[in-house]
Amino acid sequence: MRNISKILLVLILLTSQAFADEVQEGLEALNRGDYKTAFEKWKPLAEKGNSAAQFNLGLMYDKGDGVRQNFPKAVKWYRLAGKQGNVSAQFNLGLMYYSGEGVARDYEKALKWYLYAARQGNIGAQFNLGWMFDKGEGATPNYKRAIKWYRLAAKKGNSGAQYNLGLMYDKGERIPREFDRALKWYLKAGDLGHADAQLKLARIYDLGEDVKQDTPKAIKWYKLSAKQGKVEAQLKLAVIYEKGTRVEKNFVYAVKWYEAAAKNGKLEAQSRLGTFYLRGQGIKKDYIKAVHWFQKAAKRGDPKAQFNLGLLYERGDGVQKNPKKAVKWYLMAAKQDHSKAQANLGWMYVNGIGVEEDLDEAAKWYKRSESSVKYPRKIKKH
């Protein structure tokens, strides 16, 4: 379930102006960072049954504001306020039961408290109910109920609900597929900044799925998603600009997005970024940076990065020349059927560079290389 933050909503549902003043004074103290005064104002009111004070105490224990964080105490005060109809307490209590903070995880109880809050119009609770009925958490999967609650939240601007509605209409699982409705909700979510919806829209326009292929729209949505850190969008933009897929090739842009994806841990991007630094395409040639990115990708098993790292160690570019390390990386790539690594490994065995000369081993690797693609390398004359 998407993590919905707990929000301070002080509902002053009081029986007297005096209580209202006390709650307000506590809120003012909280806003200026005076947690001690806020606690002192709210504790007596909470003990007398004031639901707003009970909720606020629960939130202080929940977040550890001015008190030692204590989830069981947070649950205690949320429950007291929730039973009196405090919608924020009901919602937060649902979160506690869902995550198992301060109580044993219990999806059925989470569902119960979300229902209380959702019926009072709490958007987060409505979204969470949609999710639980969608996934069958705390209840049997029920798409009609999921759609009902998603739609209520979506109409109030919850982008997560809008995106999930789009997915449901798009997939057409247990309900008739209605792409026009799916697209409508994807667009609403995308316009509100939902990164997954933006990525989905980009793919729809990129591939021409149920719509006319539209590269400018695809790039627009990829960029919006990528700028929010969506690594799949960053990688796709890099590939589009590198290959010139229905756009003019632009290695500078390709490097920009490969670097963004590489820093987000995308293996393919790390390997490709190393290649751009190695070749000096779209960026100044830099063997040291090439080695940096190849090492990251090679250690994670990328055969292209392993081959290139072997090449750099063999030549001494960006690293101290080290034939043994070259052989190590060639071997790792060769075992993954990288033909150029197999050919280079054969050459190393023929010439006894980084390994003992071994013509049988050389022949083995040359044969494996030629079985996939010919990559001739001259044998050194002794």
pLDDT digits (tens, 9 = 90+) for 81-113: 999 999 999 999 999 999 999 999 999 999 999
Residue 214's nearest CA partner among 204, 223, 222, 199 is: 204
Q: What is the CATH number of the domain that holds 89?
A: 1.25.40.10
Q: 83 and 133 share a domain? A: no
Residue 356 carries which DSSP code? -
**Within-domain flag for 33:** yes
Residue at 260 is within a domain: no
What is the value of pTM for the model shown? 0.87
Q: Which domain holds residue 132?
A: 115-192
- CA pseudo-torsion sign 331, 335, 341, 347: positive
Distance from C-alpha of 69 to C-alpha of 73, rounded to nearest angstrom = 9
- The reply to whether 66 and 133 lie within a common domain is no
**Position 199 in a domain:** no
Q: Is residue 234 part of a domain?
A: no
The rounded distance, in Å, linking the Cα atoms of 20 and 52 is: 9
In a domain? residue 31: yes
In whole angstroms, give the CA distance from residue 342 to residue 362. 9
Same domain, 52 and 150: no
In a domain, 293, yes or no: no
* Mean of all residue pLDDT scores within the chain: 93
- CB–CB of 25/32 below 8 Å? no
- Indicate if 80 and 125 belong to the same structural domain: no
C-beta of residue 95 within 8 angstroms of C-beta of residue 4:
yes
Tens digit of pLDDT for each residue in 110-143?
A: 999 999 999 999 999 999 999 999 999 999 999 9
Query: Among 157, 192, 227, where does a domain finish?
Result: 192
**Amino acid code (one letter) for 136:** G
pLDDT digits (tens, 9 = 90+) for 273-296: 999 999 999 999 999 999 999 999
Overall residue count recorded for the chain in this entry:
382
Total structural domains in the chain? 2
